Amino acid sequence: NKDWRTIESQDQGSRIDNVLLKISESIIGGKPKKAIPQLFSRKTYSSVNAISISDRVSRVLAVKANSNLSYDEIAKKLGVTNVYAAQLLMGQAKLTPQTAQKLKDTLPEISDDDIDSMQKDFPMRSFDEEILKEPNVYRTYEAITHNGEAIKAIINEQCGDGIMSAIDFYMDVGTTTGKNGEKRVVISFNGKFLPFIEQTAEDNGAPSPRE
């Protein structure tokens, strides 16, 4: 006599495992016994249909793979950064109406239902902590954290007391060639500076909780 919510949750988890297993097979070939945990998030939320979003992402990425287009090429056609193009396909950014038709023209095999979902369903912008075990991701994280104090000091020196926005924000990934002919990775962050404000009572438009 298990609670129906427990049964439903277990069933949803099982179906997500099956979806991720199929994606694993398509990426690495063969038939792995289980999905690669580092690559996929299994977090579910009551406000998001995780199964339908996972299904959509797998379909859209399959279309991208069949198109033989790179993220750079897709981004150029959409007029966005290559990171944002990847975020759109992976369900981590919301597709706008003005970009929807461009995406349909670029990847015509994406169904109208999936294009509609990409516009209507709000992303749950989160990540599975397992992804930090993936070396490429971890080294990027390490580069930010190890240089974080220096980055903060320079931002404060050049802009004042505040932070870089990750919402009014652009990110682009590219490569360059080093002096010894080696390929090097270049990651560009471009975020609006947001200064901390002085919280003066005169400028506080909200009613006082003491009244």
Residue 131 has pLDDT above 70, yes or no: yes
Catalytic residue among 70, 139, 184, 188: 139
Residues 169/188, Cβ–Cβ less than 8 Å: no
Over residues 155-174, mean pLDDT:
97
Query: From start to end of the chain, where are the E strands?
Result: 162-177, 183-195
Residue 153 has pLDDT above 60, yes or no: yes
Residue 194 has pLDDT above 60, yes or no: yes
Residue 34 has pLDDT above 70, yes or no: no
Active site residue 26: no
Over residues 2-15, mean pLDDT:
48
Active site residue 142: yes
Return d(Cα 175, Cα 186) in angstroms, integer: 5
Residue 47: the pLDDT is 63
Residue 39 has pLDDT above 60, yes or no: no
| CA dist list (Å): 4 to 1, 52, 162 | 9, 20, 48
Active site residue 165: yes
- pLDDT confidence band for 41 (50 / 70 / 90): very low
Residue 25: the pLDDT is 60
Residues 95/88, Cβ–Cβ less than 8 Å: yes
Catalytic residue among 142, 149, 157, 188: 142
131 CB contacts (<8 Å, ≥6 apart)?
38, 39, 41, 137
Return d(Cα 46, Cα 124) in angstroms, integer: 11
35 CB contacts (<8 Å, ≥6 apart)?
17, 20, 21, 23, 24
Q: How many CB atoms lie within 10 A of CB 188?
A: 11
Catalytic residue among 14, 70, 165, 188: 165
pLDDT tens-digit map of 45-102: 556 677 888 899 999 999 999 999 999 999 999 999 999 999 999 999 999 999 999 9
Amino acid at residue number 48: V
**Among candidates 55, 54, 52, 70, which has minimal Cα distance to 107?**
70
- pLDDT confidence band for 205 (50 / 70 / 90): confident
Residues 42/77, Cβ–Cβ less than 8 Å: no
